[in-house]
Amino acid sequence: MPSDVLRSLVAIGPSNGAHRIALRAALSVLVPLLVLDATGHLTWTMYAAFGAFTSLYGRERAHADRVRLQLVAGAWMTGCVTVGALIAASDHRSWLAVPVAAIVATAAAYRSAVEGWHPPGSLFQVFGIAAVASVPATRADVVPALLVSAASALFAVLLGNVGGLLRRVRRGEVAELTAPIGGSTAGAGRYAVLAGLGVLVAGSLANTFEIGRPYWAMVSAVVPLAARALPAQVIRGVHRLVGTALGLLVAWLLLSLDMHGTAAILAVGVLQALAELVVGRNYALALAFITPLALLMGNIVRPVPTSMLLADRGLETLIGVTVGVAIGWFVRPRAGAV
């Protein structure tokens, strides 16, 4: 297995038209954030950004199937952001977010398995609900969270499908929404429960140790558990650790520039595009862009000292990956098991 892990770290897969996906993803996040900047509402950055993650779904599908999956993904992201804003209004947000995110992880992982979502698993749903919940808010923020995330998600769906729609209109074709491309129900319940367990354990540990942002531990725990077999879980975990380490170096360089407002938003857009160019080719390399993207996005809303931000991200990633791989190891099939 060590040789397989090392080979996976340096292997670069085919592009498969990633430049088109990268452009859509970058525009999906850039346009809503620039609108918020122009209207003086940058505190709503997270709401818009998580809604924009809708654009990441359905890259392998075409026409109506992509629309259906993206509408489902958009509804999930909007719901997660809204519930996260409700939790953020509580004085007990840190601990309340953990069981709620675990429930969301279980439900989203199950739907992902039986409906064949791509990207698979519950990473974005856990990220959305837990990250939004981590930023103190009031009940008055719940409605903006709902409306901004929904509008951003809808924009992502329109942007991702307008080209295909126009081509079909010109050709006189009519595309009906069909049943989603299915995954497999075999083992879906077990897969989903393990994702929820990983979030629950990782988030509880991060809170117990009083690390500043337990949602990073929760997100990192579901990364290995998005795979079914232990070898693949270990590979994903190692990619998460190595890629995060590279990303922290990039983040340190970018944060040292002390960017604000439009400059920070443009950097987020560029990082989003770079991440999507390589995420299907090498996950560790993609994290070199995803990590500073997440840190810059959070820093727009709630600036904190760079050293604390980087240390928290590194430590919580280690906790989350360790928890995820450990769960995968404990529940792996044993030789000779009946």
Mean of the pLDDT values across residues 40-64? 89
Q: Report whether pLDDT(304) > 80.
A: yes
Q: Report whether pLDDT(293) > 70.
A: yes
92 φ/ψ angles, rounded to the nearest 5 degrees: -105, 30
Q: What are the angstrom distances between the C-alpha of 25 and each of 21, 175, 271, 274, 294?
A: 6, 24, 10, 10, 15
pLDDT score recorded for residue 228: 87
Name residues whose C-beta falls within 8 Å of residue 271's C-beta, 6 or more positions apart in sequence. 289, 290, 292, 293, 296
Q: Which residue has the tokens 């519930």?
A: 83
pLDDT score recorded for residue 14: 79
Whole-number average pLDDT of the chain: 89
Tell me the domain boundaries of the chain: 2-330
d(CA 11, CA 282): 7
Mean of the pLDDT values across residues 62-87? 93
**Residue pLDDT, tens place only, 225-246:** 999 899 999 999 999 999 999 9
Among candidate residues 98, 219, 212, 78, the one with its CA nearest the CA of residue 142 = 78
pLDDT: which is higher, 198 or 58:
198
The string of DSSP letters for 191-216 reads HHHHHHHHHHHHHHHHHHTT-S-HHH
Percent of the chain with pLDDT over 90: 73
Range in 182-186, 279-283, 320-324 the model is least confident about: 182-186
**Residue pLDDT, tens place only, 160-203:** 887 555 555 455 554 444 444 455 577 899 999 999 999 999 99
Q: Report whether pLDDT(5) > 80.
A: no
Q: Report whether pLDDT(249) > 50.
A: yes
Which tokens in the block code for residue 145?
A: 């969270």
258: three-class secondary structure by DSSP: coil
d(CA 156, CA 24): 8
221: three-class secondary structure by DSSP: helix
pLDDT score recorded for residue 177: 45
Mean of the pLDDT values across residues 131-159? 96
d(CA 88, CA 59): 32
pLDDT band at 211 (very low <50, low <70, confident <90, very high): confident
Mean of the pLDDT values across residues 267-286? 94
d(CA 15, CA 223): 22
How many helices and strands in the chain, by DSSP H and E?
13, 0
d(CA 218, CA 4): 26
d(CA 293, CA 42): 16
Percent of the chain with pLDDT over 70: 91
d(CA 29, CA 54): 10
**Residue pLDDT, tens place only, 93-129:** 999 999 999 999 999 999 999 998 989 999 999 999 9
3-state secondary structure 226-252: CCCCHHHHHHHHHHHHHHHHHHHHHHH
d(CA 85, CA 100): 12
Among candidate residues 211, 207, 183, the one with its CA nearest the CA of residue 102 = 207
Cα angle 88, 92, 95; round to 5? 95
pLDDT score recorded for residue 1: 60
